[in-house]
């Protein structure tokens, strides 16, 4: 851990988290002497899909099919 100060914010609302992160970054930068690294990234939420492997297998559904359906359901077509 190279950072002398770490601030973590957590919650369900990504917009609120982004605002809080920006606010904390502004405060630390205004004090001076701090290099601020924001690892919130592109500000895209992560989705975790918990698969019941036994049930999926019994229905003949493989991980590849689940991945394809998940991608189709949550990814925007190019050009949008």
Separation CA 73–CA 26 (nearest Å): 37
Residues of the chain with pLDDT under 50: 1
Output DSSP code: residue 60: T
Provide the whole-model pTM: 0.45
pLDDT of residue 34: 78
Q: What is the pLDDT of residues 38-52, one digit of tens each?
A: 777 665 666 778 889
Closest CA relative to residue 56, chosen from 47, 65, 48: 65
Output DSSP code: residue 1: -
């Amino acid at each position: 851990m190279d950072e002398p100060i770490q601030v973590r914010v957590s919650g369900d609302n990504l917009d609120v988290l982004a605002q809080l992160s920006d606010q904390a970054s502004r405060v630390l930068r205004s004090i001076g002497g701090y290099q601020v690294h924001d690892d919130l990234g592109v500000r895209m939420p992560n989705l975790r899909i918990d698969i019941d492997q036994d049930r999926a297998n019994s229905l003949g559904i493989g991980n590849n099919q689940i991945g394809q359906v998940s991608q189709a359901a949550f990814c925007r077509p190019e050009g949008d």
